[in-house]
Amino acid sequence: MKILITGGAGFIGSALIRHLIAETEHAVVNIDSLTYAANLGALEDASQSPRYIFERADVRDRHALANALAVHQPDGIIHLAAESHVDRSIACPDEFITTNIVGTFELLEAARAYYERLEYPRRNVFRFLNVSTDEVYGSLRDQGLFTENSAYAPNSPYAASKASADHLVRAWHRTYGLPVVISHSSNNYGPWQFPEKLIPRTAINALHGKPITLYGRGNNVRDWLYVEDHARALVRVFEHGKTGERYNIGAHEEWTNLNLVRRVCGMLDELAPAPGIGARERLIEFVPDRKGHDHRYAINATKTQNELAWRPNETLESGLRRTLRWMLDNPAWIDAHVAHDEQNAPASNLRRPQGE
């Protein structure tokens, strides 16, 4: 099959493409506008394959999307293109509305027109996978898990924009018959993640002896999923998920932000001891809490595990070790981000609160 992937130069998208090229026979058309968080370096090996094609285009540009569909004739779409950082959505929600909501609408319309022109048997094969987040479900108390039947209750502009996209996708299925599937994952981490997120930002600051800032008292709980495990799950959902269904993807790895940051610090003390810095846990500082900060996310992935025969390969401990070793083995990647931060905001970027 040939799969058109939007946002394929992003963190999750690039992991998915690397997996598809290395472990499957699928061909890939990567559509990405190359915003600040995109990184074609993460696709250097995949780009050598004759089964990989890159098209620079914005998901909000229906003409460009329609042209890509007409030229490349994919057998399905996996939609990952999105603005994804909660802090940025609170500070400046405009891009989240236009990319995550309007962009999804434009893609759905391009996909619908393309799908309606397909002839059998290709029409029977085509599907549209919308990659969403557990944040659309809102916040949990200390007990309970999100299931596919959990009510939507988004609390941040980011979560609301993703929930809106999900509702559009569902409506295009019910109204127009577009064959869709929706997935919801817990917090991802792993190599190549843009360092505005909790784990890479913590690691970079810890390696440089910079303050590691946490919202509130660091008691917010997140469920962590290694990005390569997520990529494998997405392939299973795309290939075998039931049309019109939703699938939760998570690894049952709940950690408070504070305990996670402490583990990152401790692991770096072991892997890259720095006598001049000392125990990196001492770098942790607390700052006023984020607006509308959700208390806890936790995914019940039983449906995905049982129906699609998927299980995560990595625990947080093993995945975190793989991630930090990758960072230590790629100092140029770290240095580039530190230089970018220092050039654009010398005093604030490295001290900003850690967004998960």
Rg (CA), the chain: 20
Cβ atoms of 298 and 146 closer than 8 Å: yes
Report d(CA 21, CA 129) in Å as an integer.
Answer: 18
Query: Which of 152, 171, 172 lies closest to 162 in space, CA to CA?
Result: 152
Dig out the tokens for 349 from the structure.
Answer: 């970027």
Q: Which of 52, 158, 215, 226 is labelled catalytic?
A: 158
Contact partners, residue 259, CB within 8 Å, separation at least 6: 218
Phi, psi of 173 (to 5 degrees): -75, -50
Based on the residue annotation, tell me whether 55 is a catalytic residue of this protein: no
Query: Which of 23, 74, 29 lies closest to 47 in space, CA to CA?
Result: 29
Q: Which of 58, 106, 134, 229 is labelled catalytic?
A: 134
Query: Which of 241, 80, 102, 81 lies closest to 168 in space, CA to CA?
Result: 102
What one-character DSSP code corresponds to residue 296? B
Based on the residue annotation, tell me whether 135 is a catalytic residue of this protein: yes
Cβ atoms of 83 and 96 closer than 8 Å: yes
Instruction: Provide the 3-class DSSP secondary structure of residue 135.
Output: helix
Dig out the tokens for 224 from the structure.
Answer: 């962590």
Based on the residue annotation, tell me whether 75 is a catalytic residue of this protein: no
Q: Which of 83, 87, 135, 314 is labelled catalytic?
A: 135
What one-character DSSP code corresponds to residue 355? B
Contact partners, residue 266, CB within 8 Å, separation at least 6: 280, 281
Strands (E), the chain: 2-6, 27-32, 52-56, 76-79, 127-133, 180-185, 187-189, 212-215, 221-226, 246-249, 254-256, 284-287
Active site residues: 134-135, 158
